[in-house]
Structure 1
Amino acid sequence: MDLEISGRSASEIADSLRSLIERGMLRPGDPLPSVRALADELGINRNTAVAAYRQLTQAGVVVTRGRGGTHVADHAVVAQEGFAADSVLRDVGTGNPDPDRIPRLEKALARAAGRPVLYGEPVIDPDLEVWAQQWMTEGLTAAASARLTITSGAADAVERLLAQALTRDDAVALEDPCFLASIHTVRLGGYRPVPVPVDGEGMTVDGLRRALEDGVRAVVCTPRAQNPTGASLSARRAADLRALLRDHPYVLVIEDDHFSMLSRRPYHSLIGPEHRRWALVRSVSKFLGPDMCLAVTASDPETADRLAMRLTPGTTWVSHLLQRLVHAQVTDAATVAAIEDAGEHYAVRNAAFAERLTAHGIPAEAGDGLNLWVSLPTPARSVSEQLMRRGWLARTGDEFVLAVGTPSRQLRLTVHDLEDDDAEQLAADLAAAVRAARGRPVLAEVG
């Protein structure tokens, strides 16, 4: 062993390793000695070596990978939603709503004005609470016990929900492919992501069964408009998942229904009426705009109490001005009609582009949501590189995949704001890019 690791107790060994990392003698991603090798080198009990690694794992300094060993934690930047910075290419991978479909605020701002809110007052605006109670509990089988909490967006809610229930290195079941914010939250929290495959009906039963057998303590699921695939839980799939979870009532189930008011699909929940730890999260960012950082969480009473406790050291409450603004918009008939029109717009534009791709020899089908998930006959990265030569910046599925080892053959495209001519050009360029990536002639598409 070349490393100068020292110590007799778990704390001394952990401090020694932390010092090596801080001095740069161990770098992110570097492997650490096995428990057996460390114990033999230092002449200590193996349980002491295990305890030292556990301390470092809980502090986020190292990560354990089962048979892959223990490694220095690598806090690599995780891809985020939004426009790519400093690119001259036409960006069709943003994941953004259409800014022209986001309701204007002028009328609602006048209604949102009100008296100042002081410390110690209720953290939820009373009018918003009355409206949200119906919005959050309709179709929810566990509605009878639901309590509401307001957070600064869905990602904030999911992060705090996991933090109030888990400790570092706990296992969390995530859809695979997965929403970028969920990947980011789990990795930064020091939890262990367990991938659950997604098909056309959502999270698979066999995948969740394996995750539960692996000891996951939380499940994060998107009931409709799953990002990036666009899949939504069918009634049958939701019932099968509820039946599976019936034997695991204390596993925290988080549903992130991010597309809610824009969705063209019915809401089917995997939260059963007897489940003990659960939360349904709905953000307003997709239909009122990403800058409207507000989400409503309905959860069981104990989870609601613990979530509220997680809020007290930080933001304490979400601005009542923002809460009133949201209430003014979602109770305005014209705004609600505009949201409905936007949902129809996204569905129609995505379906039209899927038809264009199919006509160009790339079979595609639109799901629900802002994006289109396109399967390719060749690795997506090579197709993406070919698209860049034609002026387009697309997002490959590699960024969304939890399971590593096989290059993705999918692109996630945001095309709902393209005019017909641009959409046709992108479809043609994508077909040409696929042919070029497979080494076939593309002269017919040039000029």
Structure 2
Amino acid sequence: MTSTQDLLLADASKSLQVIITNSAGRHPLEQVFASWLVPDCMPLSSIRSNIDAAASASGAQRTYQQVAILGYAAELTMCDEIQLDALRKGLDVLSGKEPFVTGGTLMGFVTDGVALMGIARGVVSLKEQPLTDKIHQWIDRCRSASAGFAVVPFQRALIDAASAIFQPNHSVIRLDDPQCADVRVMLRSKGLLDVEPLMNSESDEIQLLTDLLHHDSVVTTPLAAIRLCALRYITSKSPTLDLSRITVKDLGNVLRRVEAGMRFWTWEDSPRTKRKGAEARKWHIDNEYHVQNLLWVILAPLFPDLKDEEYTPKVGALQPRADICIPSMQLIIEVKFWRSTTSSQDMIREIAQDNSLYLVKGSRYKKIIAFVWDDARRNHQHDVLIQGLLDLQDVIDAIVISRPGNLIEMLSPPDEKNTIDQLEDQT
């Protein structure tokens, strides 16, 4: 892409942001939808006031749009218990509404993909199976009813996507309207549509960028939010170095070279300079936090969307927290500090447990790379440990490196990180 095209896309991004910002105070559902897609696009105070208003309505006064607002808010974890109860009641009422009223008039929610997606996300967040089943059937009825009517393409795609959320293998449902490349890219960014096959995702991204560079049509607030979300996703996937498209395999190869890259790691017995007051320095790596910091230095220049210690969806009372995440690759890098007192079997069990907590329904992450720092330099056990980790479901690569020989001064003290994380997971 040329520098001119880069500038045009930057202008497109600003224009989309302006469209969203100018909608403030006019369409509450559209504003919350935009915040679901692009969290920093609207003032938090404005979003909270929309959520409060939606929750305060009751009975016949609560519209389907307000239920959808609460649905998006629930996924954004912005609802308190009272608001979640309002969402629950609103969903129950909606599940009994028919797509047509007397005389064959179509209800407004049938063709409102923005609302149906919010309603779908809300019931998924509640994790209450009987209610989920009822909303699933209701959305399917709405989708069938909308089939005979003219619906704006992006709204149609959102209706299909809302229905697909409840399917056992929703990734195979075709949302193949040529005009909806932007919606498909957005859905991939939210983990709601498989990124494979790769050529399809690349084709959609090229189409979106082309549309943004040459668009001449009126763009509504929801479509602006979809496109801004999709554009940021494409931008975040591109490493800032001259790498056209880094793959999971490339990332694994980078991580395998960490040990070699530590050849010049600072570990001094005497000062390296003659400056007055200079002291010898040793950059200790004594726990998982230190290893995460090391990987962050390596990966942050490559992945602008890198996240550290990100919370994944709750599992019962547990609130799991992944070490390092790359949303654009739907990937978690799980870091472990392998102490001399821990067996390889314990390492496998720990990562298996983390795997089961992170990759649950509703998580935007689909796979894990295990990165193990061997503090005791048990090179002869690495192959067995790697094979054991690769046998775990959804662990697509495993890297085990040893503490470099020149860094050994004493074995590091017991790591308190796991204990702290376990306590925090229960709060």
Per the normalisation by structure 1, the TM-score is 0.24
The structure with higher relative contact order (CA 8 Å, sep 6+) is 1
Structure with the largest fraction of helix: 2
Structure with the largest fraction of strand: 1
